[in-house]
Chain A
Amino acid sequence: MSTSTDAMPRPARSGWLTPRRAKAILKRVVLYLLLAIVAFFFAGPLYILLSTSFKTMPEIQAGGLMFLPHEPTAQAWVTAWGEACIGITCGGLKGYFGNSMMMAVPAVLISVMIGAINGYALAKWPFPGARFVFAALVAGNFVPFQVVLAPVSVTLRTLGLFGSVEGLILIHVIYGIPITTMLFRNFFLSVPNDLIKAARIDGAGFFWIFFRIVLPLSPSVIVVALILQFTGIWNDFLFAVSFSNPSSAPMTVALNNLVNSNFGVKEYNVHMAATVIAAAPTLILYILLGRYFLRGMTAGAVKG
């Protein structure tokens, strides 16, 4: 697997620093040095974000991005959450955080439920043409959503849902079908068929088997699907910016408007606190459930 044979300590014959051992130590030092650079590159931005969000504006203007705040203050966080001006309203991010939650939670639950039923039907109750149906549904994972933006916009206007959180929920549920269906179908293939057959002989029906046998066997895939969908929907920007209005805008749109507006002085501490708030829910999920997160990401990487 690796060069570990070089790195393993060997019994020293004459003195502890034989040339061979010196070479091995040097290799290890170089390895950890490279890893430190890698860690610095990936962790540095988050550190800067956090430390700057606790600074005052004069301190930021004095430079010293890498230093910890002299006199840490949470004022920027208070402003970002409740007072910062986004567009013409100055109520901070809290309303938009609420919008994102009200959009993401129902959309995630509904789309995962639909995906689970679809995946179960395709994997365990096959019918002529099931493979074709699966392909037709899953192809949606690869489509760049730009190609449906205009008709979705027209449809939402016709339904009177344009610019509403409900409209965004509807759109996220519909375009979540391909990925959740794929995830569940591929997982359910591994559930033994004999289990289903035995239950059917006993007279159990489609939904009874689903709720009593299949779902209890698959907590891990449910967690993966929930994480994947929550991350995707919380982080979505394309649908959010296309179909929301200032009162229903989710976090991603509000954050972009706050930071990239051309008006007034750029309050970097407030902006950075706002950025951390926007990233926090998915980041916390990652920290708590990292293992499932990776599985979801590898499965969902094909998603639009």
Chain B
Amino acid sequence: MTCRRRLAAGTLPIREAKAPIKRRFLQRHVSQVALSPSLALIAIFLYGFIAYTAAVSTTNSKAFPRFDTFVGLEQYWRLFHTPRWHVAFTNMFLFGGLFLLVTISLGLLIAILIDQRIRAESFFRSIVMYPMAMSFVVTGIIWQWLLNPTLGIEVMMHQLGFESFRLDWLTNPDTVIWALVVAAFWQGCGLVMALFLAGLRGIDEDIWKAAAVDGIPAWRVYVFIVIPMLAPVFLTVVVLLSLSIVRAFDLVVALTNGGPGVSSDLPSVFMFDMAFRRTNLGLSAASAVVMLGTVLAILIPYLYVETRERA
């Protein structure tokens, strides 16, 4: 205050007066100052851009965003009357449901197997988890070869003498979704297994001792006691996997490229195609907003449950 008064009276050189005030402001608000660049970037590049995309979805933009072509919600109407979007949107739920079912049940089973005081436990753990380090592009390419009827598992089985063995997932529109499921499972099982294993290790030893005293078989302890106790882990796993399902993109591009035809299309592939290849930005923006909506539909109930449990 004294500085400011002296400044007003003209008795203090400006440079000297400014410095302490500035420094005091910086000292008091240093953490806000440190955070503000990030906050500004996220405000623009995340929230601003989401708003931008939402705005584009109400226009008839083609190759470039043009806001003078306002059409209201027509793009959403058009989206849900596009057969290819129907395939992509349905596939998301089909692929998602199968992927969740397979990955959760087998991930839990593998975690239980590894939890049996086995030898070389870390060896088995590492083998199940190393695919996590690989990109979805690499995973997709690997499984494209394994499922290729003229190169992969089918040829191998024929050479082993199973002449009638057929594995045509990649070329059959009705079963191609299984190719995505098996590849996604191969990549994602490690994480799920690790989460379940951590959950199993967190369960009180005494439960097992009590069950042994009562002569209850192990499988019954798992089904009726241990698995219900893992409910929070199940919730986490379901949410994590669901988020990855909505975003799944690289895997499809590398494994099937949406084919045969558009039978393994997913919303993310549809969105990308419309934006960058078919120059239909309006429709692409609408599909992106629907994807965001799907994520929110998963997330909001989850956060509601989580915060209520903590309170």
Contacts and interface: CB of A to CB of B under 8 A. Distances in A.
A301 interface: yes
B31 A121 contact: yes
A281 to B, nearest CB: 9
Interface string A12-43: 00000000000000000001101100110111
B49 A151 contact: yes
A3 B221 CA distance: 10
B130 A286 contact: yes
A211 interface: no
A2 interface: yes
A46 B139 CA distance: 10
A217 interface: no
Interface string A131-159: 00100110110111111111110110000
Contacts of B114: 35
Contact of B39 (A35, A136, A147, A256): A136
A42 B131 contact: yes
A3 B218 contact: yes
A104 to B, nearest CB: 12
Interface in B160-197: 186, 189-191, 194-195
Q: How large is the interface on A (under 10, 10 to 19, 20 to 34, 35 or more residues)?
A: 35 or more
A255 interface: yes
B101 interface: no
B134 A39 contact: no
B137 A237 contact: yes
Interface residues of B, number: 94
A184 to B, nearest CB: 12
- Chain A interface helix/strand/loop/mixed: helix
Interface in B94-142: 110, 113-118, 124, 126-138, 141-142
A31 B113 contact: yes
B272 interface: yes
B214 interface: no
A51 interface: no
Contacts of A148: 45-46, 49-50, 53
A235 B151 contact: no
Nearest to B47: A136
Contact of B135 (A45, A124, A151, A237): A237
A195 interface: no
Contact of B35 (A122, A242, A285, A301): A122
Given A45-B146, A65-B155, A252-B250, A137 B42 contact: yes
A122 B53 contact: no
Interface string B187-214: 0011100110000110101001000100
Contacts of B191: 297-298, 301
Nearest to A44: B146
A298 B143 contact: no
A274 to B, nearest CB: 9
Interface stretch (A70-78, A81-89, A170-178): A170-178
B3 interface: no
A293 interface: yes
Nearest to A4: B117
Given A127-B29, A146-B271, A252-B135, A121 B186 contact: no
Contacts of A144: 246-247, 268, 288, 291-292, 295
A285 B134 CA distance: 11
Contacts of B268: 144, 146, 238
Given A255-B138, A283-B134, A1 B117 contact: yes
A162 interface: no
A200 B152 CA distance: 64
Contacts of B243: 142, 302, 304
A59 B131 CA distance: 27
A95 B109 CA distance: 43
Given A278-B137, A285-B133, A38 B247 contact: no
Contacts of A236: 135
B249 interface: yes
B116 A2 contact: yes
6 contacts: A48-B145, A143-B50, A174-B41, A238-B268, A279-B138, A285-B133
The 4 A-B residue pairs whose C-beta atoms are closest, nearest first, are A235-B135, A125-B31, A121-B31, A286-B133
Interface of B: 27, 29-32, 34-35, 37-39, 41-43, 45-50, 52-53, 56, 65, 110, 113-118, 124, 126-138, 141-146, 151-152, 155-156, 159, 186, 189-191, 194-195, 200-201, 203, 205, 208, 212, 218, 240, 243-244, 246-247, 249-250, 253-254, 257, 267-268, 271-272, 275-276, 281, 284-285, 287-289, 291-292, 295, 299
Given A39-B124, A151-B52, A256-B253, 17 more contacts: A35-B118, A43-B127, A64-B159, A125-B30, A125-B31, A133-B35, A147-B50, A150-B52, A151-B49, A238-B249, A242-B272, A271-B141, A279-B133, A282-B135, A294-B194, A297-B194, A301-B244
